Structure formats: structure tokens, C-alpha cells
Amino acid sequence: MKRLIIDSDTGSDDAVALVMALKYPDTKVEAITVGFGNVPMEQGVQNAIYTVELCGADVPVYAGLDRPLIREGRTGQYVHGEDGMGDIGLPLSGKKPAPGHAVDVLIDTINRYAGDITLVTLGPLMNVAVALLRDPSIAHKVNDCVIMGGVGYGYGNVTPVAEYNIWADPEAAQIVFQSGMPLTMVGIDVNNKSAVFTEADSAALRGIGTPLAEFCVDIQAKLINYVSERTGIRSFSLPDPITMGVALDPFMATEVKNLFVNVELGDGYTRGQTVVDHLHVTGKAPNTKVVLDASREGFITMLHNAVR
């Protein structure tokens, strides 16, 4: 039995990742913790609870931090919609999170299942960072922390060199990367290679014909429009789900390097850049397993199986 904690900023791609985890065999999601990111934290909680209920699962969802540690927050609503789920009219309000704060839940659950938790982070890292500041020992009690964030090799999606989840709260990310926690980073470059859905891919997913399959496509509506306006191609990508795929089945990662990663804390274009030492020029010991490629076929198969 694989035990997961999922820390999310529940937008449209996070929701698909939650579906994959909640439907994966021999896996128990112990808790979903939610923080600021794609949408305000309170909306992310509503989206996570809706997704859990749609899957027929019984997993508690906890509210966490509603802003970055230091900086002014900037959501991803311009990409995912005001509700983060494509603005398609889903009933995404009125649900109550489980009692307790996400940071406390992270600390308590990791300590309760020491050595047996895979922590999967799908958004900015403020909840995890504060948990580490309060109890540094949890860094050595997780089996792995699989991070959707950063850039292993390539370009960013919010500045030329930075990916949104790290850029949104670089101070939190730096705390996590310097914590000594075992880390696996799945950057936006992996998404660009293996998790872009064309119209044909979207039709194949919808064609499975289940409510979950339709949900996973329908909630990408705003994202499809955002991508189309900028590229002229009607497509969407699923960075959080391919990260979840690696967390659920590490063999999905087809190229991994153990490297030193640092986070830039300045302003301007390099804010939130994950500086990855591919040539070991810093002399620093590796602190992260950096995924550079993943099986697209394996990911598509896992997603299709989840929604059947």
C-alpha cells in the first residue's frame, strides 16, 4: 500500500492529478492539503472537495496558507479560469474542509507514518515550507517528495527561466530544496515533452465516455483558450498529472539525474529559477532527483485507466 499526501493549489490540471491518485490501485491518499496558487486557497479547497466527491472517495481536504510567505500573491486564474476549473458552471462553493490546518496535518501525518509517506506537491510550496520550519525532522521521515515545479532543462512558463509554482513563492521553495528531504523534481520541461494534449488526444480521452473522462477534458476549457490565443493551437497540457504519474509509478520517469538544485530569490526574470547544476560546477552535493523525461505512453495509459 502506497500512502500519499497531496499538497495542491487545485486548478484544472491538479484536479486530473487527484483523479489519478484517488483511482490508482493499492494507493491510499491520507490527506489533501491546499494552499494558495492557481486560485485563492479557499477556492482550491472547494475544487479539491468537489473532485474527491466526484471520484466517490473518502479523503479529508484541509485548508492551508492563503498567501506566499513573503511576496504578494499572484494566482493562475488568467490561465485556469476564475474558479480554476474552466469556468464551466460547476457547483464549486459551500463545502467545508476537514477541521485542522494543512501545516499541522502535514506534520502529524508524516510523523504518524514515518518512512511510509510519499508527499506529492502540485502547487507553490508554502504549506510544506512552514511544516519544515516548525518540525525540521519531517524532512527525513518521508519516503519521497515529488514536486511539480521548476525547470530541469529548458525554459519557463511565467518568465523565460522560471516555472509558476516555484516563481509564486521562491522563498518557500528554497526552504524545501535546502531541507534535506528526498526530492524528485518534475519540471515544466517534462510536461512540454510528454503531457501536451492535442485535439485528437482530448477526443480520445473524452471518448472513453465516463463522467470522469468528460470532467477531465471539460475543466480545461479556459486553459485551451489561453494556449490557443498564444500559439494558435487548440491544446492543453497536464503538468500536475504527469508528476502524479511519476509519484505513483517511479518507472514512468525515463531519464533521471541526481543533481544539485538551487532556487533564485531575486526579482526580475530569474525570480524562482531552479538553477540545476548539470555539470557539477558548483561542487555542491546533489540534493534532488531531476526528472528530465517521462513515458508519454505510460502516462496516457495511466490517465485513461483512472477515468474508466
Q: Are 100 and 62 in contact (CB under 8 A)?
A: yes
Q: What is the predicted pLDDT for the residue at 230? A: 85
Q: Which residues in the chain land under pLDDT 70?
A: none
CATH of 2-307, picked from 3.40.50.620, 3.90.245.10, 2.60.40.60, 2.60.40.10, is 3.90.245.10
Q: What is the predicted pLDDT for the residue at 231? A: 86
Q: What is the predicted pLDDT for the residue at 16? A: 98
**Structural domain spans, the chain:** 2-307
- pLDDT tens digits, one per residue of 274-286: 999 999 999 999 9
Around Cβ 72, how many Cβ atoms within 10 Å? 6
What pTM did the predictor assign?
0.98
Q: Are 84 and 93 in contact (CB under 8 A)?
A: no
Question: For residues 18 and 212, what is the distance between their CA atoms, to the nearest angstrom?
Answer: 11
